[in-house]
A and B are shown apart, each in its own frame.
Chain A
């Protein structure tokens, strides 16, 4: 299996892309879909897999520089990377590459070079078409569709995996239909959430003929450096007064801020976390009852909940349960944080579960927030639940 290197996408695809298969990133104009293909290429190069990149909208040097914007130095993998330069001739530049398409507007010329490279590189290579839409613009829709069929066939023959970046400009209906439904084994849609402007980006598996995939979309952000990160815009942190919610938010976050008075949160804690390919904004609420409307308000928009309890204060469990009830109507996944495990007399996870009457399928994580112990395990678990992985 060839992994895409995109968090969660490999899971959707049943661990990656099998040899001989084709996949297209179907990118809506204006979203950073091309980064998906780049991340996939870099991920495979760094796993010592032979890769081919067909560049048709920038010269090879610029293409390599573009990778470095994301912290991916592909120059160190030059022995594993073959570049097909299908750009320089278009603008009259000279090229140092071994494989050059001398007439990028001629699909026959493109075919000739691509097929030659597919034969020359080791079997099970990853072939990346940097911009299928540019090839289509230069060579025409019908001719390009025919060429894709040929490249996919050759991919199957040589056990490669071929991946295309495609920007879905308003091509003819038949072209879009062929791309979305007919000629690829897998289609990953990368789109934008737009109202007046595009204010969020998502991806989802539209088709994967080898995997049982769910129709599910993930929000993402593109970080420089870092690349694609799954983005969870709102996670609620709630729990009784003095349970350690602010400490939990701060220990988990890459950056955080609290609005407090005399050491007690009186408005909100806010933190942002980037961890293992996931990016999230975390909002902590005050624990006192008079602030309960805030919990309701944030629960309406949150995607998951951390309920923080003080493991040494069973008297507060009733209040904790009451806070959980406020949010339950929203059906959000949640993880219980059994905080202050370092303090003598702290109850064990099992004791909390029985005293709290928590069902077995609800995770309770032992945490020492002051030492950041257990906080990332809790985050990973909640992300699994939110993204449908658990």
Chain B
């Protein structure tokens, strides 16, 4: 039975703790499961530990002097806790880091080339690029201009496209909606959904924009203060009154005559 569960989850993270600089405990025992082929969201406010969770999975923690001090992460049944970040990309984990971070002085085309795995043939790379330009036609138009001058939405598309070149089995995105107009968020999320369905790529999405995220994922985890405080299907989370109030921006009408002069406690904390 346990075996079977392992096989169904492409990623499984068991009570992972992360320390920065050997002193700061950023996440305190987070457990997250990503079933193969599904889209999962990590929700929560600023500084809750969502980004740290992704970095623990991608191995980028090391660049920020963080380390996993407890727990383990398995990817397709293999323990990857000690595997180097660049080798995790080779295994099929790709992390689209926060703030887009395209290679600004390269063209979009070169951005895609830079991410090509070692040993990918020229024709395979070109085919991959055409596929990505099909997903993101806006990029195709500007493939030879300097990436630093693309708009925010185009840069986010490029960052996702660049990640796809690495042939991921698990695509992790950190706040792809950050600073983008609502129609762009909708467009990008729609494309993510398409990629998930057509390529069978599992997706782990970190979002503050819970409203948009819960529309496309099947399950969500709510992280607060470095802990998972809630886990459920997207439907269940959307209808949860706390989620509605704190993350979806007020479910009920507010009667301003009766507003209480203290903020409501998040019951699951402390």
Task: Say whether A associates with B.
Answer: no
